[in-house]
Structure 1
Amino acid sequence: MFPIDDDNPTLITPFVTYGLVAINILVFLYELSFSEQGLTQFFYQWAVVPLQLTGEFTGQTYPALRGGEPPEVLTLITAQFLHGGFLHLAGNMLFLWIFGNNVEDQLGHFKFLFFYLACGVLASLTQWYFSQGSQLPSLGASGAIAGVMGAYIIRFPNVSVRTVIPIGIFPFFTRIPAYFYLGIWFFQQALYSFATLAPRTNVGMENGGVAYWAHAGGFVFGAVLGPVLGLFSRRSAA
């Protein structure tokens, strides 16, 4: 299922949402300028490498994986603007475009930006907690966007989301309540997350390249942090 739009108009222009989409696209275009080897080094430098983050938190020294600055803790922010391919980028930006504007409308521009980045950091820390010895870089806006979706489902549970469901080669268009659409998405991420705890799983960041714990963690933190920042209060003045 892929979201197309919703029936929830906004009262403000979502400048932050548009800006985040633009920055992610620009960074991806910059990534295209690298050779395969250069891009790998770039990811190790600017994405979250759990083993290196573990070393920074515990004061232990591990073999150099990143090749230089910045400090690993800073990658909790920078990793949110990196993507491993066009489909990775396109999927994330679609969800941010659909759901981000309404959450920004409720929180206001500055609170929404803080909320977005905080969800991304907390999502990455969730993934790190369950993969502290991993040497694979973790990157993407998925955790932050999962936070946006978590806030959306509790603030607009009954809003109808127009959705396309591929049936073979034919697209089927329908409308699904947000709580149902996003609830299914969260259930899938949670299920895959717990599956990665099994010793011989074929999914998860180590084997399948997907940080499911970051998705599930971001969703939960978004649902919690959104109301704390005023998701249910009057629209904030931006």
Structure 2
Amino acid sequence: MFPLSDDDRRLSGPALVTWFLILANVGFFFVQAADAEFTYAWSTVPYEITSGQDIANEVPVGAATMSEIPQRPGPGPAPMIYLTLITSMFMHGGLMHIGGNMLYLWIFGDNVEHRFGHAPFLVFYLVSGLAASFAQIALDPDGLIPSLGASGAISGVLGAYLVLFPRNKVNAIFFFRVVSVPAFLVLGVYIVFQFVDGWGAIFSTEQMGGVAYGAHIGGFVAGALAALVYRLIGKKEQQSPLSPAMRRDPQNRPMW
């Protein structure tokens, strides 16, 4: 089930932070394309975070394969090395990687930003990304494989969206057809597949197929918990100019 768009009638203004985050990710991607060593220097390496030591040279992996993982000097020793926890969430491994992540951020980020507010949403996004990174590091604290991508932070956005807008309609491709289904179905399928596909990664402390499932799950859970807390103590949802019409539509009644 591949999402294409969602119901944005709740929005009463532009999602400035979401746009900024997309531009920042694209900007970092161009920097990576211009300097290949930048990726290895500024991505997150679990062992560097847990040890506080910056690895500057290639490291061998597996006596049988004698393969090496490229490493380059990063920000420096602790505490500078921890900057990679932030920079890595703006970096990607290829066009498909950044394209998929930015599509999800574009679809689901604006509604969550509208509900949280611009500045709180930016803080929420970064904290979700950090929670995702720490979840992956906890699975493999001595790992030497660089980790990068916005998927952990965006998973936090998806978790918050599921809590805040469970009945919002999402247009998605399902078996070569475009269907309109509730958000809880689309995002429920997403997180179930993360658990199923990441089962081996969680219990063998490895990144299966280069995908950090621990980060996806950690970010999603962190985002959902933050949204649950916000529902209890945060401000009520802002009224959209279309709110009266939405209230007259029985399909748009809130689940919560």
Cα distance per residue 1:151-180 (max 9 Å; x no partner): 000111111100013x4xxx3111121111
One-letter code of the match for 1:4?
L
Tell whether the 8 Å contact from 1:115 to 1:226 is kept in structure 2 after alignment: no
Give the 5 Å matches for 1:1-238. 1-9=1-9, 10-34=11-35, 39=36, 41-56=37-52, 64=56, 65-70=71-76, 71-165=80-174, 167=175, 171-199=176-204, 205=207, 207-229=208-230, 233-235=235-237
One-letter code of the match for 1:75?
T
CA distance 1:132–1:8, change in 2 (3 Å): same
Distance 2:51 2:129 in 1: 20
- Answer with 155-164 or 110-119: which moved more: 155-164
CA distance 1:63–1:98, change in 2 (3 Å): closer
CA distance 1:135–1:176, change in 2 (3 Å): same
- Count of aligned residue pairs for this structure pair: 219
Deviation at 1:62, TM superposition (A): 7.5
Tell whether the 8 Å contact from 1:96 to 1:145 is kept in structure 2 after alignment: yes
Distance 1:63 1:23 in 2: 26
Deviation at 1:69, TM superposition (A): 1.4
TM-score (norm 1): 0.85
One-letter code of the match for 2:50?
T
CA distance 1:63–1:138, change in 2 (3 Å): closer
One-letter code of the match for 1:186?
I
Tell whether the 8 Å contact from 2:43 to 2:146 is kept in structure 1 after alignment: yes
Secondary structure in 2 matching 1:67: coil
One-letter code of the match for 1:48?
T
Distance 2:170 2:100 in 1: 16
Distance 2:54 2:161 in 1: 40
One-letter code of the match for 2:196?
L
Structure 1: gaps (5+ residues): none
Distance 1:62 1:99 in 2: 36
Deviation at 1:235, TM superposition (A): 4.4
TM-score (norm 2): 0.80
CA distance 1:174–1:225, change in 2 (3 Å): same
CA distance 1:181–1:47, change in 2 (3 Å): same
Deviation at 1:23, TM superposition (A): 1.0
Structure 2: gaps (5+ residues): 57-70, 239-256
RMSD between superposed Cα atoms in Å: 2.0
Tell whether the 8 Å contact from 2:42 to 2:74 is kept in structure 1 after alignment: no
Tell whether the 8 Å contact from 1:108 to 1:235 is kept in structure 2 after alignment: no
Distance 2:231 2:218 in 1: 20
Deviation at 1:224, TM superposition (A): 0.8
% identity of equivalent residues: 41
Cα distance per residue 1:175-222 (max 9 Å; x no partner): 1211111011001112233221455x9xx52x4111000000100000
- Structure label with greater radius of gyration: 2
Tell whether the 8 Å contact from 2:163 to 2:227 is kept in structure 1 after alignment: no
4+ runs deviating over 6 angstroms: none
